[in-house]
């Protein structure tokens, strides 16, 4: 009997720790925020408006239009890349692929890779890239859009950095961030897509974020 | 008779010492090429071909096809310097995306990085001498 009680102790601990985690862990909301006053039931309350990803409409590798509405039921990870990029993109694609493999088949999770070289990365090129990478267009969209629009979206929407630079390998310099976006289009995390530990963190955070929606419903 | 034995022993010893020095010089050169080559690899190749040489899915080929490396040994330096636009077949899979050129690499760095590649990731093909690289570069198509 004694033996039984002792063996239970670690299990109790696991329970306690996991219980704590579930209740307390929530991801921060990143980006600009602005307080607004509104009247609810005759009382003035202060509410916060968070930065959201502006509406966009781009074509994916199957020539299907992807916009904010088509992503309303899922959280997603976004990044910026180009297919002929010799610097950080392959390692980013590799890391994104490992995230994709973890969440494969989960319809609540999507992936968006915006090309920042629309001149070269036409729909057929993106299609070939996706096929060779071995990913399904239902979950991972490679998006083609007008260059200025994409650069602007990167800068103001995702707070990510892209610019043309003839000195950089491939002609474009950009940051290698993976951005985690929730169903309300708010930025919930930014991770260095070339760093394996941060990518692991992202995978954990995605579970946390998915859990937020589960507990809400 | 005794002198004869002593002399022959001495000669044998010196020949052995001489030969082992030769072998050591060769292997020291190989070690140096290999170590330097791993640094060149990190800077110029690893972004795409990855630290484990496995490449990326069917986009970027792995560097572990020993047969390909052996049969195309004379072209390897050219591939690095001028890049690749044609598709190549590695381990039975066609890879079609272009490989960028690395024109700025000196022959000695090419020799080192090729020594590293052809002796890593399961390959074991010995040293890639700078003379061999020079010769190969003259025959690039």
Q: Closest to B47 (Cβ–Cβ): which among A83, A90, A97?
A: A90
Q: How confident is the model at residue B89 (pLDDT cuts 50, 70, 90)?
A: very high
What the block records as the tokens of A73 is 């039921």
The upper half-sphere exposure of residue A108, i.e. CA atoms within 13 Å in the direction of its Cβ, equals 11
Tell me the pLDDT band of B117, cut-offs 50, 70 and 90.
very high
CA distance A60 to chain B (A): 19
Residue A74 CA, distance from chain mean position:
10
What are the sequence ranges of the domains in chain A?
55-216
How much is the pLDDT for A18? 55
Q: What does the pLDDT look like over A68-124, one tens digit per residue?
A: 999 999 999 999 999 988 888 899 999 999 999 999 999 999 999 999 999 999 999
Across the strands, what pairs with A57?
Answer: A67
Nearest chain A Cα to B52, which residue?
A: A91
Spatial CB neighbours of B49, under 8 Å, sequence gap ≥ 6: B55, B60, B61, B62, B63
Give the angle subtended at the CA of B69 by the CAs of B39 and A88, to the nearest 5°. 45
CB of B126 less than 8 A from some CB of A: no
Q: What's the mean pLDDT in A3-26?
A: 58
| CA B41-B47-B49 angle, 5° bins | 70
A159: Cα separation from own chain's centroid: 13
Considering the entire predicted model, what is its pTM? 0.79
What is the distance in angstroms between the CA of the first residue and the CA of the last residue of chain A?
42
Round to whole Å and give the CA distance between B127 and B118.
8
| 3-state DSSP assignment of residue B23 | helix
> How many Å apart are CA A201 and CA A178, to the nearest integer?
11
Buried b (16+ CB within 10 A) or exposed e, A45-65: eeeeeebbbeebebbbbeeee
Report the distance separating Cα A193 and Cα A85, nearest Å. 15
Regarding the domain with residue range A55-216, which homologous superfamily does it belong to in the CATH classification?
A: Glutaredoxin (3.40.30.10)
Q: Is A120 annotated as a binding residue?
A: no
User: Which tokens hold the place of B26?
Assistant: 């060769």
Give residue B77's domain range: 2-138
Domain count, chain B: 1
Query: Any idea what the Cα angle at residue A43 is, between residues A38 and A48, rounded to 5°?
Result: 35
- Report, as an integer, the average pLDDT of B67-80: 96
Q: What CATH number is attached to the domain comprising B84? A: 1.10.760.10
Considering only CB atoms, B57 lies closest to which of A83, A88, A133, namely A133
| B1 vs A43 pLDDT, higher one | A43
Task: Give the model confidence (pLDDT) of A194-207 as tens digits.
Answer: 999 999 999 999 99
A20 annotated as a binding-site residue:
no
Is A89 labelled a binding residue?
yes
Under 8 Å CB-to-CB from A203, ≥6 apart: which residues?
A: A99, A102
Can you give the C-alpha Rg of chain B in angstroms?
Answer: 20
Identify which of A52, A19, A49, A74 has the alpha carbon closest to the alpha carbon of residue A209.
Answer: A74
Q: Sorting pLDDT into bands at 50, 70 and 90, what band is B72?
A: very high
């Amino acid at each position: 009997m004694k033996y039984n009680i002792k063996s239970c102790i670690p299990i109790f601990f696991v329970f306690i720790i996991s219980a704590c985690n579930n209740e307390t862990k929530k991801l921060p909301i990143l980006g600009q925020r602005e307080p607004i006053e509104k009247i609810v039931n005759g009382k003035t309350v202060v509410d916060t408006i968070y930065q959201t990803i502006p509406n966009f409409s781009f074509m994916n590798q199957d020539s299907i239009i992807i916009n904010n509405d088509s992503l309303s039921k899922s959280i997603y990870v976004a990044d910026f890349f180009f297919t002929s990029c010799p610097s950080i993109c392959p390692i980013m694609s590799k890391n994104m692929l490992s995230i994709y493999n973890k969440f494969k088949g989960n319809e609540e999770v999507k992936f968006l890779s915006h090309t920042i070289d629309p001149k070269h990365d036409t729909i057929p090129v993106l299609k070939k890239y996706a096929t060779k990478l071995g990913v399904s267009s239902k979950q991972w969209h490679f998006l083609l859009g007008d260059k200025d629009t994409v650069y602007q979206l990167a800068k103001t929407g995702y707070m990510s950095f892209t610019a043309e630079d003839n000195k950089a390998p491939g002609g474009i310099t950009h940051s290698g961030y993976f951005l985690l976006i929730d169903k309300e289009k708010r930025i919930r995390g930014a991770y260095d897509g070339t760093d394996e530990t941060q990518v692991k963190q992202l995978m954990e955070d995605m579970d946390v974020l998915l859990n937020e929606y589960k507990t809400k419903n | 008779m005794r002198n004869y034995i002593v002399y022959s022993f001495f000669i044998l010893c010196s020949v052995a010492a001489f030969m082992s020095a030769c072998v050591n010089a060769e292997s020291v050169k190989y070690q140096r090429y290999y170590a330097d080559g791993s640094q060149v690899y990190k800077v110029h190749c690893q972004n795409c071909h990855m630290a484990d040489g496995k490449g990326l899915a069917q986009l970027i080929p792995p560097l572990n096809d020993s047969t390909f490396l052996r049969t195309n040994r004379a072209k390897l330096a050219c591939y690095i310097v001028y890049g690749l636009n044609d598709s190549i077949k590695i381990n039975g899979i066609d890879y079609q995306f272009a490989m960028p050129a690395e024109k700025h690499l000196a022959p000695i760095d090419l020799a080192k990085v090729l020594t590293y590649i052809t002796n890593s990731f399961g390959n074991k093909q010995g040293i890639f001498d700078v003379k061999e690289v020079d010769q190969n570069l003259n025959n690039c198509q």
